[in-house]
Structure 1
Amino acid sequence: MKRATQSDLLLVAVTLIAAVSWVFSKEAIALMPPLLFMGLRFLLAAAFLACLGYRQLLRLTSEHIVRSVQVGIVFGLAMLFWVLGLAHSDSMGEGAFLTSLGVLLVPIVARVFFSEPIPRSTWLALPVALVGMVLLSLAQGFSIQRGQVFYLIAALGLALFFTLNTRVATVSVRQARGNKAAAELSAVDPLALTVIALTAVGLVTLLASLLFENWRGTTLQWSPALLGWLVASAIIGTAARFWLQTFAQSLTTQTSGAVILILEPIWVALFAALWFAETLSALQLVGCVMIFLALLVNRWQVMRSIVTQRGI
């Protein structure tokens, strides 16, 4: 099997794991405070990956740690609003499509913070996405729900996370040219950096839980079901997902993964229908379809290059 094909299949598996993780999280936050859940989930995932990558962690420099923590804090804030959206929304499928807008917002965030040019495909995709969001608000009687706002803030946070993560890697590679110390920085195993980032996410959300949730004064029932959902979210939905995605993207330099990963909201909507019997109204369905079309338009150049490279 070609490495590119193997990478594509693994990334499809990543989108499925990510979608199943929504189910794990939804079940868990029904039994415990959402921010406490996220803190424990990411710290458990980081601890699990640290056991696998402890040798790589020992080779980290202070600069590695600082950069990873910075990215992890941004990621943690995004995940904070994501889980609040999950807790305050009646439609998990709708939330998945709203969160996926983070992919579309990446060029805009890069423009605002780093003066990078915005691709023409983004300008074409934005009106389509806006129509989708309007339709979703119309489905609620032309009102924006609190869960939708949380999801949109999470999408913006994820866009900033993706942008910073990419720039850190780019700066490392650029500095590595003619610079031995920077070369060592760029060669660090991504597993170690992932552990630091996930730890930062766990600490951010756990701190938010201590500040804003009253779980200390409530009776938290640590039932086998709750422990099962928490462990599944940490090991399968977080640790396994990030490790598998990193491994899959390391197999090839092709950009097809960027297209494959936008399948996640479709899987989430299907699992929500199968597991929670969720249904989307006609307006919600059309709104989600419009957002997905916007993601495809935004990735049109990538899709066309894939077709050209593979002679499809």
Structure 2
Amino acid sequence: MSDAHKSDLLLVTVTLLAAISWMFSKEAVLLMPPLLFMALRFLVAGGFLAVIAWRPLTRLTADQLKRGVGVGLVFGIAMSFWVMGLFHATSMGEGAFITSLGVVIVPIIARLAFKEVQPASTWFAIPVAVAGLALLSLRNGFQPESGQIFFAVAATIFALYFTLNTRAANQRTVVSRGKTIEKHRIPALPLTAIALLTVGLVTLAESLVLEPWQPTFGNPPPFLIWWVLASAIVGTAGRFLVQTYAQSLSTHSHGAVILVLEPVWVSLFAAGWFGETMTPMQLAGCGLIFAALIVNRWGALSKALKASLRKHKTG
């Protein structure tokens, strides 16, 4: 099997790990305060990756550490809104599709904040995504649920996180006060470890202020520790490790298209695990959002299809 095919199969595994993590997380927030859960989940996952990435971490400069923490702060705010969405959600499948809107919003953030030129497919995808979101929130007039609002805010902040994370992971030249400054890339593994640990510290601080801890630690529910560990090791550290390795095997950009599968898996798992169902309007809304994701990734998808056809002809 070629490295490109291995990469594709591993990225499908990544989407499955991400989706199953929704189930672990939902089980955990039913038993403990959501922000406290996020703190434990990300501190465990970040600590696990930090041990693996210890040597690269010690070689980072002060500027690289500062930028890594900055990325983690934005990620932490996004995850805070996400877990509150999960806590209040009536449909995890619907929440996964709303959260996936971050992929569509990324180009808007990149254009507005960093003047990056975007392909035409991006601007075609946006109205389709908005129409899908409207169908999800207009079931009984314009009365969006609190879970939907939290997920939508999380998607917007995730878009900023994705943009900052990409810039931190790539070397670039910055002109400041007439001076040219070289911003060195931060290797993927230490960057991920720093970001996850920062998320854990951000949500820990929020939980200290906003949530009671005594019920959880005074009389911990059975199986709680296993949901936290499963979410931290399998759904967070494991997912990022597999994704980093998969992306190192192939330079092709169509891997991003595969990651679009995540909300589909979440919907299927939620139906089997929690017995969730969707109304026809919800299904239509999720379908439009999925279509927007495909349109947004059409450039990468078309390249992948052309490459597959060329390989089939030559084979």
Q: Is the 8 A contact 1:14 1:244 kept in 2?
A: yes
After TM superposition, the structure 1 = structure 2 runs for residues 153-172 of structure 1, keeping only pairs within 5 Å, are 153-170=153-170, 172=171
**SS class of match (1:154):** helix
Distance, in Å, in 1 between the alignment partners of 2:27 and 2:288 is 28
> How far has the Cα of 1:5 moved from its partner?
0.6
> How far has the Cα of 1:222 moved from its partner?
2.2
Matching residue within 185, 197, 200 for 1:199 = 197
Can you list the C-alpha shifts for 1:46-85, whole angstroms capped at 9, x where unaligned?
Answer: 1111222222222222122111100000011100000000
Q: 1:57 to 1:219 in 2, by over 3 A?
A: closer
* Partner AA of 1:129 in structure 2: A
* Partner AA of 1:139 in structure 2: R
Partner of 2:144: 144
Q: Is the 8 A contact 2:169 2:191 kept in 1?
A: no
**SS class of match (1:19):** helix
Partner of 1:253: 251
Partner of 2:284: 286
Q: Is the 8 A contact 2:169 2:187 kept in 1?
A: no
Paired residues in the alignment total 304
> How far has the Cα of 1:292 moved from its partner?
0.1
Distance, in Å, in 2 between the alignment partners of 1:299 and 1:259 is 6
Q: 1:222 to 1:121 in 2, by over 3 A?
A: same
Can you list the C-alpha shifts for 1:207-237, whole angstroms capped at 9, x where unaligned?
Answer: 1111111234776532440000000010001
Partner of 1:95: 95
* Partner AA of 1:21 in structure 2: S
Partner of 1:61: 61
Distance, in Å, in 1 between the alignment partners of 2:192 and 2:285 is 34
Q: Which runs of 5+ in 2 are unaligned?
A: 175-180, 311-315
Distance, in Å, in 2 between the alignment partners of 1:91 and 1:125 is 24
Q: Give the alignment's TM-score, normalised by structure 2.
A: 0.92
Q: Which runs of 5+ in 1 are unaligned?
A: 176-180
After TM superposition, the structure 1 = structure 2 runs for residues 65-80 of structure 1, keeping only pairs within 5 Å, are 65-80=65-80
Partner of 1:297: 295
Distance, in Å, in 2 between the alignment partners of 1:97 and 1:274 is 17
Partner of 2:86: 86
Q: Is the 8 A contact 1:29 1:87 kept in 2?
A: yes
Distance, in Å, in 1 between the alignment partners of 2:172 and 2:167 is 10
Partner of 1:178: none
* Partner AA of 1:264 in structure 2: E
Can you list the C-alpha shifts for 1:82-141, whole angstroms capped at 9, x where unaligned?
Answer: 000000111000000000000000010111211223321111111111111111112344
* Partner AA of 1:76 in structure 2: G
Give the percent of matched residue pairs that are identical in Structure 1 and Structure 2.
56
Q: Is the 8 A contact 1:45 1:235 kept in 2?
A: yes
- Which shows bigger deviation, 241-250 or 51-60? 51-60
Distance, in Å, in 1 between the alignment partners of 2:129 and 2:187 is 36
Partner of 2:118: 118
